[in-house]
Structure formats: C-alpha cells, structure tokens
Structure 1
Amino acid sequence: MEKLTKKEEEVMQVLWDLEKAFVKEMVPHLDAGNHYNTVSTIVRKLVDKGFVGYEAFGKTHRYFPLVEKTAYRNTFVSNAMSNYFNNSYKNMVSFFAKEEKISAGELREILEMIESKEK
C-alpha cells in the first residue's frame, strides 16, 4: 500500500470520519489553508491512487473511502515497527517513554489491558 502525503492523510481522515462527502463538505473539517480547489485536487489524486471512490451526481461527485482506516494504519504501524524498532513493541514503547510521549500512568493502563486479555 502506498504511503500518502500529509495532506492526503488529512483528507482521508475527514473521509473516514464522514464516510461519504462532497468536497464542499470536507473543506470545513480541514485546516483553514485548505481551499476548495486544493481539496478537490487532493481528492482526485486519492481517486487515482485507489484510496477513494465516488458517485457522480451530474458534474459533482460524492466521495467515499475505498481503503479502511484500520488497514492503512496497520500497514504503516507495521512498517514503522520494522524500519525503526526492529519489530519490537518493547523497543517502540521504550522509545515513547524516553521521549516522554507516554506517561507512567498510560503505561500502567496498557499493562492492565494486556493482563485483562490474558485472563
């Protein structure tokens, strides 16, 4: 699966949330710098890449995701794990702990989730 640009990911996040939308419905959900024409161009690129489909209503289109959010996330989390953490969740979690991106309380919550699934 192809890695999307940051702008493409932002548009996909909106489409995943809205499920189906016209460009004019997406624009308010994006940063102020994203104008209608910019979003329209990004969406057409996503169609070309196979991430987005559409229904035609005359000259306008209503867009919807063809790639599920979980499928995209799983692909790129797996790639990050492989490329940066030697396929080790321990290495990944310790990285976030060292960078102070995760608190001790959050780590305890994760442990509780793991332990409750083991029962």
Structure 2
Amino acid sequence: MKNISDSEWKVMKVIWSKPPMLASEIIEKLSEETDWNPKTIHTLIRRLVTKGVLKAEKEKNYYSYYPLVSEEECVQAETKTFLEKCFEGSFNVMISNFIKGDKLSDKEIDELEKLLESKKSR
C-alpha cells in the first residue's frame, strides 16, 4: 500500500466512518474539523483515488467514494512503516523504548500483561 499523508489519513477516517460518501459529505465533515477549503479536500480525495485507496463511482451527476482498504489494513501498514523507520523493524526495541520512556499506570501495565498472556496462550 502506498503511504498516506496525515491529511489524507483525516479524509480516510471520515470515509471509514460511514461509507460510501459523496464529496460534499466529506467536505462538510472535514470543514467541522479543519480549516481546509473544498478544493484542498477534492485534491486529497483525487490523490487517494490515484493511490488506489479509494474508489470513485459515478452516480448521475456526482461521485460516491468507497474505501478500497480497511482502516485496520492502513493501521498495520503505518505501524510497519513506523517500526522500520524508527526501530529498524524491531517490535521489541519499540516496546522497550516506550516502556522506558513513558510513565505507565498500574492499570496500563496490567492491560499489557493480559495482552501478552493472551498472545502467549495462542
């Protein structure tokens, strides 16, 4: 999957929330969250179509936009890119760095332990 910029990610979040969506609906939603003008949003939508992340389907005088990849797939791809860029692909180094540098509550530690135990028992 091609990299999605932070701005494109915001567009995708809107579309994943309620697909399919018209450009006008995407613009309306993003106008509540950003100060982008409609032309900027149209440009971002076109880029996502070009990247193969969105599908544009013409219906009468307008287009409906459908995600071609799930949010989960994008999160996985972004996570992999982040790991490779910052931690040479090592999940262990990332977790170690996170735990050393962050103040975790007892509740967060318990949650991490439960996640690890459930992964171990599989």
What TM-score results when the alignment is normalised by the length of structure 1? 0.83
Mapping 1:1-119, distance limit 5 Å: 1-30=1-30, 31-100=33-102, 102-119=104-121
Corresponding letter in the other structure for 2:82? A
Corresponding letter in the other structure for 2:4? L
How many residues align? The count is 119
Q: Aligned partners of 1:6 and 1:52: how far apart in 2?
A: 16
Aligned partner of residue 61 in structure 1, secondary structure:
strand
Unaligned runs of 5+ in 2: none
- Seen in structure 2, the aligned counterparts of structure 1 residues 4 and 116 have a Cα distance that, compared at 3 Å, is closer
Q: Aligned partners of 2:77 and 2:34: how far apart in 1?
A: 29
- Seen in structure 2, the aligned counterparts of structure 1 residues 44 and 86 have a Cα distance that, compared at 3 Å, is closer
What TM-score results when the alignment is normalised by the length of structure 2? 0.81
Q: Displaced runs of 4+ in structure 1, greater than 3 A? A: 101-104, 116-119
Instruction: Work out the percentage of aligned pairs sharing the same amino acid.
Output: 28
Shift of 1:96: 2.2
Q: Aligned partners of 2:104 and 2:78: how far apart in 1?
A: 20
Aligned partner of residue 2 in structure 1, secondary structure:
coil
Query: Please, which moves more after superposition, 55-64 or 87-96?
Result: 87-96
Unaligned runs of 5+ in 1: none
Corresponding letter in the other structure for 1:42? L
Q: Aligned partners of 1:103 and 1:44: how far apart in 2?
A: 43
